[in-house]
């Protein structure tokens, strides 16, 4: 990757798109400090993230990975409570307030009824909601989601992004999502960052960014970009 | 589903301690010899002997069980146990070589403490401990990959190291004389009894074990986070590399100490964490302190059972035999009943 540079404003839902191997996950992992850049910096509120302490960073940035499996049989509620980890002390004792925050997070993702269920007994969509609840329980301002809807069915994909947009609009949380699905991202994201060939191919609002030319240049597909009467943007690849 | 408050923690831990105290009291008073008819002198001797074994069982049981919890969390594998990384092999070889090559005069080192107290240390056990430390350093070195301790490499290194020590021990046993061979085989089964008093060794081991358990108690929150993988754990604020290194060293030292004290007693480190998980769930903040007392109770009960077998039937049976024999059916029963065992894919 060379010359990837972009900024995300507070309260934005930004979609990070690009073909396989374009560096979407790499960018997500760089923001999460799971990787360190060989050149350049990652800045959070203008400050280089490399200098941040582990505990501090976890209170400001939350991560939703693509898939989650627990090595041991934790329940959904126990999983969400772990999101309070950055806020509890060394021993990890939780307070009544922590419990309320966790429950509220489950409410926001509509998963309170799943609280006592083992994580591994949940469906993929339910599990992703619980993991998102855990990220919400962290009370971080920035959420980084790595292909959060890739293992979800079409309804849950749209539900998840609608939820993220709600978080951005109503709570001012910033969300950075990598995505494979151009249409879902176009429907909900405020802005899209499209990576291609190791650099940023385009940044801007979905309507401005998603053009047939860009799709051909970046993904190598021939597609029609259609705007529906109600304003929806749809990418329709041509079937040879 | 309730949160773990400091109060609930203390109540649970205190409750577990009471259970252990009750079991220990029974173990002191109940035995093959009916002590009600004894005179004061004989009574004191029997209680003293039993007290030593009960405390030894508590120390070794606690060390093995907590080490087992740590290794299962570190390697994210419910089948992990304290000896998985080869420490027991190293300690065993150390003890065996020590008992072969140390001349009789050096078997016990006598230290004159300021004043009158005379402390006698069993150097053979120390040999085992030193070998354990060397093994830990070796495994640590071999399992490093780009400056990080890799769990998969750890397991593979452990397999290799275990195989090496097993071969070395077999070679030693094969070359040794009959009497020594019998001693080696017997020792390898693991037992809490021994010739002479073991108070000094326990005095040395106890602070080490207590310190190790204390470290785990603080690391427990991190063990929970690690269950979801390193990326998630790091994103939730855990310093993954530092946590892992510390846990590995402490768990290995606890295992090495146990083996140096009582030989490689098996099953405790594997089964006690699982039994506790079935009772209280997989929360390591509870598992760590509870396995201290759970391990102590398990080993105390096993040892008492072993001591109640009449000498003519099977005298001085090592407790390691009982832990395996009793552990398996108990485990099967709980397996059929319990739901919260193990977890998803590693």
**What burial class does residue B134 get, using C-beta atoms within 10 Å of its C-beta: 0-12 exposed, 13-18 middle, 19+ buried?**
middle
Closest residue on chain A to B236 (Cα):
A58
Report the distance separating Cα B161 and Cα B286, nearest Å: 32
- The dihedrals phi and psi of B251, each to the nearest 5 degrees, come to -60, -40
CB proximity under 8 Å: B 8-27 to A: 9
Of B205, B256, B272, B321, which Cα lies nearest the Cα of B86? B256
Return the residue matching tokens 């830990």: B136
Q: Which ranges of chain B does DSSP label H, i.e. alpha helix?
A: 6-29, 40-74, 87-101, 123-142, 151-175, 178-189, 199-226, 230-235, 240-262, 268-280, 284-308, 311-314, 319-337
**pLDDT top residue among A199 and B297:** B297
Amino acid B341: pLDDT: 47
Q: Which of B228, B237, B285 sits opposite A91 (nearest CB)?
A: B285
Amino acid A76: pLDDT: 95
Residues of A in contact with B220 (CB under 8 A): 91-92
Cα-Cα-Cα-Cα dihedral sign, residues A165, A169, A171, A174: positive
CATH code of B6-337, in short, is: 1.10.3470.10
Q: Assess whether pLDDT exceeds 70 at residue B170.
A: yes
Residue A205: how many other CB atoms lie within 10 Å: 13
Amino acid B344: pLDDT: 40
Closest residue on chain A to B218 (Cα):
A91
Report the distance separating Cα B263 and Cα B271, nearest Å: 18
Report the distance separating Cα A13 and Cα B6, nearest Å: 38
pLDDT in tens, B103-156: 766 666 666 666 655 666 678 888 889 999 999 999 988 888 777 788 888 888
Q: Which of A52, A72, A77, A98 to mutate to test the interface with B (most CBs of B within 10 A)?
A: A72
The DSSP element (H or E) to which B120 belongs, if any, is: strand B118-122
Compute the residue count for chain B.
Answer: 346
Q: How far is A69 from chain B (nearest CA, A)?
A: 6
Q: Cα separations (Å) of B269 from A190, B39, B156, B291?
A: 53, 39, 19, 9
Q: Which of B220, B232, B345 sits opposite A92 (nearest CB)?
A: B220
- Check if the beta carbon of residue A1 is closer than 8 Å to that of residue A165: no
Cα-Cα-Cα-Cα dihedral sign, residues B91, B96, B100, B102: positive
Q: Assess whether pLDDT exceeds 90 at residue B346.
A: no
What are the pLDDT tens digits along chain A (240 aa)? 788 889 999 999 999 999 988 889 899 999 999 988 888 899 998 889 888 888 899 999 999 998 888 889 999 999 999 999 999 988 889 999 999 999 999 998 889 999 999 998 998 888 999 999 999 999 999 999 999 888 788 888 888 899 999 999 998 999 999 998 899 999 999 999 999 888 899 999 999 999 999 999 999 889 999 998 888 899 999 887
Is A13-68+141-237 CATH 3.40.50.300? Answer: yes
pLDDT in tens, B310-323: 777 666 678 888 88
Q: Which of B70, B147, B235, B286 to mutate to test the interface with A (most CBs of A within 10 A)?
A: B235
B45 near A CB under 8 A: no
Report the distance separating Cα B246 and Cα A151, nearest Å: 36
CB proximity under 8 Å: A 188-227 to B: none
ipTM: 0.91
């Amino acid at each position: 990757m060379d010359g990837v540079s972009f900024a995300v404003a507070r309260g934005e839902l930004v979609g990070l798109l690009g073909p396989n191997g374009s560096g979407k996950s790499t960018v997500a992992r760089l923001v999460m400090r799971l990787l360190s850049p060989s050149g350049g910096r990652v800045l959070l509120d203008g400050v280089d993230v490399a200098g941040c302490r582990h505990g501090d960073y976890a209170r400001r940035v939350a991560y939703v990975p693509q898939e989650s499996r627990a090595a041991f049989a934790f329940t959904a509620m126990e999983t969400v409570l772990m999101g309070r980890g950055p806020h509890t002390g060394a021993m990890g004792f939780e307070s009544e307030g922590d419990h309320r925050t966790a429950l509220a997070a489950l409410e926001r993702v509509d998963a309170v009824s799943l609280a006592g269920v083992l994580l591994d007994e949940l469906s993929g969509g339910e599990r992703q909601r619980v993991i998102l609840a855990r990220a919400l329980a962290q009370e971080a301002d920035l959420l980084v989601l790595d292909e959060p809807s890739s293992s979800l069915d079409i309804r849950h994909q749209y539900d998840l992004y609608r939820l993220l947009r709600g978080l951005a609009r109503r709570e001012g949380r910033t969300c950075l999502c990598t995505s494979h699905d151009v249409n879902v991202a176009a429907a909900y994201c405020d802005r899209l960052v499209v990576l291609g060939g190791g650099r940023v191919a385009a940044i801007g609002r979905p309507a401005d960014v998603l053009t047939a030319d860009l799709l051909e240049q970046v993904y190598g597909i021939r597609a029609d970009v259609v705007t529906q009467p109600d304003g929806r943007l749809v990418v329709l690849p041509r079937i040879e | 589903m309730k949160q773990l408050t400091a109060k609930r923690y203390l109540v649970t831990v205190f409750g577990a301690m009471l259970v252990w105290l009750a079991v220990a009291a029974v173990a002191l008073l109940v035995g093959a010899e009916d002590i009600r008819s004894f005179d004061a002198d004989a009574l004191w001797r029997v209680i003293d002997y039993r007290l030593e074994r009960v405390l030894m069982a508590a120390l070794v049981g606690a060390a093995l069980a907590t080490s087992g919890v740590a290794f299962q969390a570190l390697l994210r594998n419910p089948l992990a146990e304290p000896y998985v990384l080869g420490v027991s092999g190293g300690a065993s070889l150390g003890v065996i070589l020590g008992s072969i090559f140390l001349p009789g005069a050096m078997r016990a080192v006598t230290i004159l403490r300021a004043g009158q107290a005379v402390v006698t240390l069993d150097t053979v056990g120390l040999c085992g401990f030193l070998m354990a430390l060397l093994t830990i350093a070796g495994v640590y070195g071999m399992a490093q990959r780009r400056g990080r301790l890799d769990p998969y490499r750890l397991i593979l290194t452990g397999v290799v190291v275990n195989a090496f020590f097993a071969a070395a021990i077999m070679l030693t046993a094969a070359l040794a004389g009959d009497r020594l061979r019998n001693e080696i085989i017997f020792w390898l089964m693991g037992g809490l009894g021994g010739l002479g008093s073991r108070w000094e060794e326990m005095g040395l081991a106890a602070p080490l074990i207590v310190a190790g358990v204390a470290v785990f108690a603080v690391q427990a929150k991190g063990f929970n986070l690690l269950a979801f993988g390193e990326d998630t754990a790091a994103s939730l604020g855990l310093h993954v590399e530092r946590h892992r290194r510390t846990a590995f060293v402490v768990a290995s030292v606890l295992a090495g100490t146990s083996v140096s004290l009582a030989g490689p007693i098996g099953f405790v480190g594997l089964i006690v964490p699982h039994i506790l998980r079935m009772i209280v769930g997989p929360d390591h903040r509870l598992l760590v302190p509870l396995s201290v007392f759970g391990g102590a109770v398990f080993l105390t009960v096993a040892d008492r059972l072993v001591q109640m077998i009449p000498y003519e039937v099977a005298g001085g049976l090592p407790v390691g035999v009982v832990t395996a024999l009793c552990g398996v059916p108990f485990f099967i029963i709980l397996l059929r009943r319990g739901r919260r065992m193990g977890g998803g894919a590693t």
